[in-house]
């Protein structure tokens, strides 16, 4: 990550973090490999930047069928930087292709990286990254399905996620923020699911040397509060077992609608203790979540297996797959490669909370600035004007997990978007992927 901005001197106003301005369709960006890309309509907004449809540069305008997206952020914000590192190390198309081949997969749900670079406009510098364009996010599907996914679908999603996790773990990274709003269906193939948002991804084994377990009180509860791992609650950096533990909580939420600690997400110690207790007595946890007729035995077995993993252990991916396959067999289902979402209209849920590495860094940076200015440390901000480039926007609805401990700026940016549509489609108002506005811890 580029160096953090130094704290402003006493008496100086805190420096303002920039959000990317909206570029007009047709803007041409040239990547570090000298390849030119043309921007189309913006289709999403993240914490610090915008996401546009894109195509290789040509005389034609970029249409609704564009196969790529470009994420653009002001270059001195830095947040795209760590995500970019992941994509450059792990997600080059030939690397993914050879993994798919050697592991006999049909597809691997990691968006491919096509290029990146710096772009200047109006005297400002922007960082950009080109990746595959994807479709709807699973949080939206979850809400549409009345916050329940059928067992077959959950087991299929978990099988896809095991493939993805095995790949990213093998490339020295853990994701650390798996959840429905970070899972997106393919744009051209909605039966594929992709894990996105590597802003929190952590390189747990740089140059194959696995990090030691170490608790850092400043990092406690990193991640999305309802799903984050016990390791993260304790302030340890994420490891391979953390990703699997997070996956367990996602599966349980998808199956039964809610996790037992969801009523008190504003109390991270309570959430941590509930998770510790559930791990100590998985059978009791299952009783809390499921009725005796609905209890999915494979989830309990999966959780027992994950619980047995040490901090540095490599997960037994194949064994975990076979547990999920046994679950499918027990309901006389097969992983037939089709993801079927039942059509039920569901209510929008209360949002949960999260701290991301990038937002936490931003919060810390802002704290430094405030401290240096002699101002009280604020983690929550009042929403700012809801306007993008002169166009008034309604605040985005939050239908997914929220982030804890922010500057408020991410929420501000997202609150300028309108939530619409079922796909990230051009012409629709921008919306966030169910990633929620932040609140203070
Ligand atoms: N590859 C993609 N194809 C299509 N839409 C995408 C893709 N990746 C992300 N999006 C959409 O763009 C929005 C912004 O994504 P982005 O990863 O920048 O933000 P975020 O994850 O919500 O925020 P942050 O990473 O800053 O926490 C998402 O909410 C999603 O709807």
User: What pLDDT score does 29 carry?
Assistant: 98
Closest CA to 228 of 177, 184, 279: 177
pLDDT score of 13: 30
Please name which of 141, 149, 145 lies closest in space to residue 183, comparing C-alpha atoms. 141
Of the pLDDT bands very low, low, confident and very high (cuts 50, 70, 90), residue 401 is: low
Nearest to 355 by CA among 230, 223, 259: 223
pLDDT of residue 288: 97
Nearest Cα residue to atom 22 of ligand 1: 46
DSSP 208: G
The tokens of 107 are what? 């597809």
Q: Decide if pLDDT at 361 tops 60.
A: no
% of the chain residues with pLDDT over 70: 73
> How far is 90 from 170, CA to CA, in rounded Å?
9
> Which pLDDT score, from 0 to 100, does residue 334 have?
96
Question: Which candidate in 132, 137, 163, 177 is catalytic?
Answer: 177
Which residues lie closer than 8 Å to 221 by C-beta, 6 or more apart? 228, 232, 233, 268, 271, 272, 355, 404, 441
- CA-based max dimension of the chain: 69
Q: ipTM score of the complex?
A: 0.96
Q: In the 3-class helix/strand/coil scheme, how is 312-374 assigned residue by residue?
A: CCCCCHHHHHHHHHHHHHHCCCCCCCCCCCCCCCCCCCCCCCEECHHHHHHHHHHHHHHHHCC
CB 183 within 8 A of CB 193: yes
> Best substitution site from 85, 188, 435 to test ligand 1's pocket, by max atoms within 8 Å of Cβ?
435
Specify the length of the chain in residues: 441
pLDDT at position 328: 98
Q: Are 110 and 103 in contact (CB under 8 A)?
A: no
Query: What is the b/e burial string over 87-103, where b = at least 16 CB atoms within 10 angstroms of the residue's CB?
Result: beebbeeebbeebeeee
pLDDT of residue 344: 74
Given a cut of 90, whether residue 46 has pLDDT beyond it is no
Dihedral sign from CA coordinates of 219, 223, 226, 227: negative
Q: What are 229's two structure tokens?
A: 């791992």
**Euclidean distance between CA atoms 213 and 171, whole angstroms:** 19
Evaluate the CA torsion angle 210, 97, 114, 71 in order and state its sign. negative
Q: Does residue 177 carry a catalytic annotation?
A: yes
Least confident stretch, 52-66, 233-247, 310-324, 407-421: 407-421
Query: What distance in angstroms lies between residue 221's CA and the mean position of ligand 1's atoms?
Result: 23
Domains and CATH numbers, the chain: 135-330 (1.10.510.10)
pTM of the model: 0.80
Mean pLDDT, to the nearest integer, of 397-419? 34
Choice from 185, 363, 432 to test ligand 1 binding pocket (greatest atom count within 8 A of CB): 432
The whole-number average pLDDT for the span 321-338 is 97
Summarised one tens digit per residue, pLDDT across range 62-97 is 999 999 999 999 987 766 888 999 999 999 999 999
Q: Report the alpha-carbon distance of residue 290 to residue 252 in Å, rounded.
A: 9
The CA distance from 57 to 27, in Å, is 9
DSSP structure class, residue 285: H
Element (H, E) at 75: none
Pairing of strands 202-203, 50-56: unpaired
pLDDT of 324 > 50? The answer is yes
Q: Which helix (H) or strand (E) holds 289?
A: helix 282-289
- Is residue 211 a known part of a binding site? no
Q: How many CB atoms lie within 10 A of CB 429?
A: 16
Residue 29: CB within 6 Å of ligand 1?
A: no
Question: What is the end-to-end Cα distance of the chain in Å, rounded?
Answer: 24
């Amino acid at each position: 990550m580029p160096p953090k901005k130094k704290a402003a001197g006493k008496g100086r106003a805190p420096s303002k973090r920039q959000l990317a301005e909206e570029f007009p369709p047709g803007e041409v960006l040239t990547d570090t490999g000298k390849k030119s890309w043309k921007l189309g309509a913006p289709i999403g907004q993240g914490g610090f930047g915008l996401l546009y449809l894109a195509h290789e540069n040509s005389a034609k305008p970029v249409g609704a069928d564009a196969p790529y997206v470009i994420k653009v952020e002001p270059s001195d914000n830095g947040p795209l930087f760590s995500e970019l590192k992941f994509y450059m190390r792990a997600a080059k198309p030939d690397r993914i292709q050879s993994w798919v081949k050697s592991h006999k997969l049909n597809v691997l749900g990691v968006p491919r990286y096509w290029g990146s670079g710096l772009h200047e406009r109006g005297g400002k510098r922007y960082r950009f990254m080109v990746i595959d364009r994807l479709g709807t996010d699973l949080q939206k599907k979850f809400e549409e399905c009345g916050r329940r996914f059928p067992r077959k679908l959950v087991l299929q999603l978990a099988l896809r996620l095991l493939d993805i996790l095995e790949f990213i773990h093998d490339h020295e990274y853990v994701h650390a923020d798996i959840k429905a709003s970070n899972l997106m269906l393919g744009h051209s193939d909605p039966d594929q699911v992709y894990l996105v948002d590597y802003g929190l991804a952590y390189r747990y084994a740089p140059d194959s040397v696995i990090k030691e377990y170490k608790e850092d009180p400043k990092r406690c509860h990193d991640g999305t509060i309802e799903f984050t791992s016990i390791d993260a609650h304790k302030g340890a950096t994420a490891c391979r077992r953390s990703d699997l533990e997070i996956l367990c909580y996602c599966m349980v939420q998808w199956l039964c609608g809610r996790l037992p600690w969801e009523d008190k997400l504003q109390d991270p110690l309570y959430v941590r203790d509930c998770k510790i207790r559930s791990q100590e007595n998985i059978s009791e946890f299952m009783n809390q979540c499921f009725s005796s007729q609905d209890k999915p035995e494979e989830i309990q077995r999966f959780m027992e297996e994950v619980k047995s993993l040490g901090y540095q252990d490599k997960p037994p991916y194949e064994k975990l797959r076979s547990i999920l396959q046994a679950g499918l067999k027990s309901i006389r289902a097969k992983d037939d490669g089709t993801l079927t979402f039942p059509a039920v209209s569901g209510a929008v849920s209360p949002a949960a909370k999260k701290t991301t590495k990038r937002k936490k860094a931003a919060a810390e940076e802002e704290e430094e600035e405030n401290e240096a200015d002699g101002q009280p440390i604020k983690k929550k901000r009042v929403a700012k004007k809801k306007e993008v480039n002169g166009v008034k926007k309604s605040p985005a609805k939050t239908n997914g997990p929220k982030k804890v401990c922010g500057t408020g700026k991410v929420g501000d940016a997202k609150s300028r978007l309108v939530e619409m549509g079922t796909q990230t489609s051009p012409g629709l108002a921008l919306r966030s992927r169910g990633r929620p506005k932040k609140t203070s811890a």
